[in-house]
Amino acid sequence: MISRRKFLSGLSAMPIAMQPMLAAAQTPLGPLAMPPLLDATGTGRFHLAAQRGTTAFVDAGTSETWGFNQAHLGPTLRIATGQTTAAEVQNTLDEPISVHWHGLMVPGDADGGPHQTISQGETWTPELAITQPTCTAWYHSHVHGSTARQVQKGLAGVLQIVDGQDEARGLPNAYGVDDLTLVLQDRRFDRRGQIDYAPAMPDQMMGFTGDTMVVNGQVGRTAVVPQGLVRLRLVNGSNARIYPLSLSDGREVHLIATDNGYLDHPIALSELTIAPGERFEVLIDFSDGRDIALVSAPNPNEMMGGMMGGASNESAFVVLPFAVDSSLPATKDQLPDDIGGSRPQDDGTGADVRNMTLDMQMGMGMMLRRADNRFSINSAAFAMDQINFDIPRGTVERWSITADMMMHPFHIHGVSFQVLLQGGRAPAPQNTGWKDTVLVHGSAELLVRFGQGASRETPFMYHCHILEHEDGGMMGQFTVG
Ligand code: C2O
Ligand code: CU
Ligand code: CU
């Protein structure tokens, strides 16, 4: 058992600027809990029920929340590659939802995008035929115009694709012991402890950021870890916040997987930036027994270099303190050299180029527009009834993305891509693996192979993963056939 004193020391060892963002003092509440594990690898099926509940995040009171099979957020779904899993998603809420499997390579009719709403009382039953490699993906609602609010309420969860080979790879794989699932979100709470989501114009422009750090739906908790190698599966489930992550004592994390799977070899990084929609898996060596914390620099996104606003008055903050408990089983202490994954290595020559400009209206121009028409791609705001283009299945395209004004995490459904260039240069090491979401700062070139089919009824989306931008029209749709 870990003592209460240990939790306190995990926090009080941090410099003052590194205290959690939370304004009201919060007593450390104990160990961080993992989302419940819903392992579908044996049965080949799972059931999710979107439901309403209440959650006590902060001392001030409880909040209404939404979740899957529980009051807030959803279980960690574990499905096997090489297997078809029968999903059942039931909606017991009183408005339409959808459930998109972000990071799954499945055809459009199983993708769960905005055309696949599940009405009140209904159940959606897609088949998930998975052949892609092991990765950490996630699922979340995707109703056009309501995604940002529904995800704030809690309609999100983590999804693991597994192949049973992690022990052979030498990777930590004991769920919640040395293999931690961490959903990073930020929220605002009102005086009564309710989630406070009422985006004003600046929140819509910049994307909505909170003042309180929430990990797996919990505030102020400490992750208790064994004295060895620990794996973190980081999921940025925030509406808009970008986290430039590092460890409080400057030690490196070892990146082993990006959005869509393992790297060939670990990459040691002293900073790892995770944007909304992205996932990264890292190993941290706790064998020296020291209590450290995962910390974040302020949200680096700002409008036009800060001239039009940004969160630059923030300071760094604790995302999650760790307390090492030497009584926990530490089964891995050796960093594997060969993880057995891959990195895309194409040079992109010969691929047809498709240009995408992410645009936003400024100031008055923005305020005069309808809520769903403030953002656009190539000057067209998303329209449910308009397919932007059709791509023949098997095509490889080079997508050239341009984004001025601010940074946008760009995501494409149904594919995994290679980042060829970022801002005209070779991609940062963290973006050299297989990706489905990438932070575009100025420009990015992506090499994309379209291997899954999607019809006009259930097309694939491409969009900014700042959810207020996505709901505001910075999204498009395409067919593959
Ligand atoms: Cu994670 Cu289209 O979304
Ligand atoms: Cu997606
Ligand atoms: Cu954006």
Q: What's the average model confidence in pLDDT over 93-120? A: 98
CA of 459 to the centre of ligand 3 (A): 21
**Residue 9 backbone phi and psi in degrees, to 5:** -65, -30
Distance in angstroms (rounded) separating the CA atoms of residues 311 and 300: 7
Q: Which residues contact 128 (CB under 8 A, 6 or more apart)?
A: 79, 84, 85, 86, 87, 101, 104, 106, 110
Facing residues of 175 across strands? 179
CA distance linking residue 78 with residue 164, whole number of Å: 11
Distance between CA 276 and CA 258 in Å, rounded? 14
**Cα maximum dimension of the chain:** 61
Closest ligand 1 atom to 413 CA: 2
Q: How confident is the model at residue 6 (pLDDT cuts 50, 70, 90)?
A: very low
d(CA 233, CA 411) in angstroms, rounded, equals 19
Q: What is the mean pLDDT of residues 294-308?
A: 81
- What does the pLDDT look like over 34-61, one tens digit per residue? 999 999 999 999 999 999 999 999 999 9
Task: Give yes or no for a contact between 193 and 186, defined as CB atoms under 8 angstroms apart.
Answer: no
- Percent of the chain whose pLDDT exceeds 90: 87
Cα–Cα distance measured from residue 27 to residue 101, given in angstroms and rounded to the nearest whole number: 36
Per-residue pLDDT at 371: 67
Burial level of 37, CB count in 10 A (0-12/13-18/19+)? middle
Query: Are 246 and 269 a contacting pair, CB within 8 Å?
Result: no
pLDDT score, position 26? 45
Q: Is the pLDDT of residue 75 over 50?
A: yes
C-beta of 102 in contact with ligand 1 (< 6 A): yes
CA of residue 230 relative to chain centroid, distance: 20
| pLDDT at res. 373 | 72
Cβ–Cβ under 8 Å, residues 481 and 467: no
User: What is the distance in angstroms between the CA of the first residue and the CA of the last residue of the chain?
Assistant: 56
Ligand number nearest to the C-alpha of 375? 3
Residue 360's pLDDT is what? 85
For residue 311, is pLDDT > 60? no
Q: Which two tokens stand for residue 193?
A: 């402890």
| Ligand 1 near 115 CB (within 6 A) | no
Ligand 1: does its nearest atom lie under 6 Å from the Cβ of 38? no
* Measured CA angle at 376 (ends 374, 381), to 5 deg: 80
Q: Band the pLDDT of 9: cuts 50, 70, 90.
A: very low
Output the CA–CA distances (angstroms, integers) from residue 188 to 35, 208, 245, in the order listed: 21, 10, 21
> What value does the mean pLDDT take over residues 80-88?
98
> What is the per-residue pLDDT for 5?
37
- Going from the Cα of 14 to the center of ligand 3, the distance in angstroms, rounded, reads 33
Model pLDDT, residue 405: 87
* Alpha helices by DSSP H, 315-397: 363-367
Distance (Å, whole) CA 181 – CA 118: 27
Instruction: List pLDDT tens digits, range 387-397.
Output: 999 999 999 99
CA of 414 to the centre of ligand 1 (A): 10
pLDDT in tens, 198-245: 999 889 999 999 999 999 999 999 999 999 999 999 999 999 999 999
CA-to-CA distance for 370 and 373, rounded, in angstroms?
Answer: 5
Ligand 1, atom 3: closest residue by C-alpha: 102
Residue type (1 letter), 358: L
463 Cβ closer than 6 Å to some ligand 1 atom: yes
With 0.85 as the threshold, say if the pTM is over it: yes
Q: What percent of the chain has pLDDT over 70?
A: 89
Average pLDDT, the chain: 92
How confident is the model at residue 102, as a pLDDT?
Answer: 99
Q: Which residue in this structure is represented by tokens 């870990």?
A: 2
What residue's CA is closest to ligand 1, atom 1?
A: 102
Confidence at 362, pLDDT banded by 50, 70, 90: low
The alpha carbon of 336 and the centre of ligand 2 are apart by a number of angstroms equal to 30
CB 461 less than 6 A from any atom of ligand 1:
yes
Short-list 218, 296, 257, 21, CA closest to 137: 257
The secondary structure of the chain in percent helix, strand, coil, rounded to multiples of 5, reads 10, 40, 45
Ligand nearest to the CA of 147: 1
* Ligand 1 neighbour 100 (Cβ under 6 A): yes
The answer to whether residue 24 scores a pLDDT higher than 60 is no
Contact 276, 241 (CB under 8 A): yes
| pLDDT, position 372 | 65
What is the mean pLDDT of the segment spanning 287-293? 97
pLDDT at 378 over 60: yes
**C-alpha–C-alpha distance, residues 288 and 396, integer Å:** 47
Give the pLDDT confidence of 118-172 residue by residue, as tens digits: 999 999 999 999 999 999 999 999 999 999 999 999 999 999 999 999 999 999 9
Q: Encode pLDDT of 427-445 as tens digits.
A: 999 999 999 999 999 999 9
- Separation of 237 CA from ligand 1 center, angstroms? 10
